[in-house]
Amino acid sequence: MITNGRTNIISEKRFNYNTKYKFKFDIKSIVINYIQNNIREIFSVLSLLLIGIIIGTVLVNNLNETQKEETTTYIQDYILSLKDGRCINKKAVFLETIRNNLVFTITLWFAGLTIIGIPIVYITIIFKGFTLGYTIATITAILGIGEGSLFVFSTMFLQNILCIPCILAIAVSGIKIYKVIIKDKRRENIKLELCRHTTTSIIFFNILIIEAFVSGYFSTLIIENIVKFL
């Protein structure tokens, strides 16, 4: 009886280990296959994001003195208010982030459904890159490389780990369905791709809700503590 009990425990541990290992392996395989099957689309989207980041950075460097002074005053006043004990409205940040993510998701989803909407997908990704580049360049220009990097890391790093891959994935899905509509005129395949694109958008928007929660309740908490060292 004891031997059988030990055997069952060992078998159960092996089963759990094998199941866990297989699960990790399957996720790795899915990610690798996804990248391999969409490498061109991924490269295109990443290139557009990079273009947007470059445009945002260049624009900051070309601001006139009045614009620089207004931006500097705004950021410095914001930091001083946090140092004086002002608390960030976490719920407001959470809801605002969800709203922005919803706009991005609906725009990319709807644009991907139509042939003429693909330029909107490209513009949306460039705009996302622009906001990232502009924000990072502005903060580092005002606070310096050291403090600016610390502030950017605390305010933008956590949420963008989730946000950027999700938005890029929805954009890749939109580009892929566009190519299917162009190359394959069969109605059944187009319907299948429409369902896939919609499902992809819904899945990644749910992840973006998690990102909004991180942005609203974790990143803001980090900011309130990090700002003491600026």
Residue 51 sits in the same domain as residue 124: yes
Q: Is the pLDDT of residue 79 over 70?
A: yes
Range of the domain at 221: 41-229
Q: What is the pLDDT of residues 50-62, one digit of tens each?
A: 999 999 999 888 8
CA–CA separation, 54 vs 230, rounded Å?
A: 26
Choose among 122, 132, 159: nearest CA to 45.
122
Contact call for residues 151 and 222 (beta carbons, < 8 A): no
Q: Please return the burial class of 186, using the count of CB atoms within 10 Å of its CB with bins 0-12, 13-18 and 19+.
A: exposed
Count structural domains, the chain.
Answer: 2
Residue 50 sits in the same domain as residue 33: no
Helix (H) or strand (E) holding 216: none
Residue 31 sits in the same domain as residue 78: no
Residue 17 sits in the same domain as residue 50: no
Residue with tokens 């042939």: 115
Q: Given this model, what pLDDT does residue 27 score? A: 60
Residue 33 sits in the same domain as residue 90: no
- Per DSSP, the residues of 11-67 read HHHHHHHHHHHHHHHHHHHHHHHHHHHTHHHHHHHHHHHHHHHHHHHHHHHT--HHH
Choose among 117, 105, 129: nearest CA to 175.
117
Choose among 225, 173, 167: nearest CA to 198.
173
Q: Is the pLDDT of residue 96 over 50?
A: yes
Q: What is the pLDDT of residues 125-161, one digit of tens each?
A: 999 999 999 989 988 888 888 888 888 887 788 788 8
The confidence band for 102, taking pLDDT boundaries of 50, 70 and 90, is: very high
Q: Given this model, what pLDDT does residue 184 score? A: 67
Residue 79 sits in the same domain as residue 173: yes
Residue 119 sits in the same domain as residue 20: no
Q: What is the pLDDT of residues 187-230, one digit of tens each?
A: 677 788 888 889 989 999 999 999 999 888 888 888 888 877 76
CA–CA separation, 167 vs 169, rounded Å?
A: 5
Nearest 5°: CA angle at 165, between 136 and 179?
Answer: 120
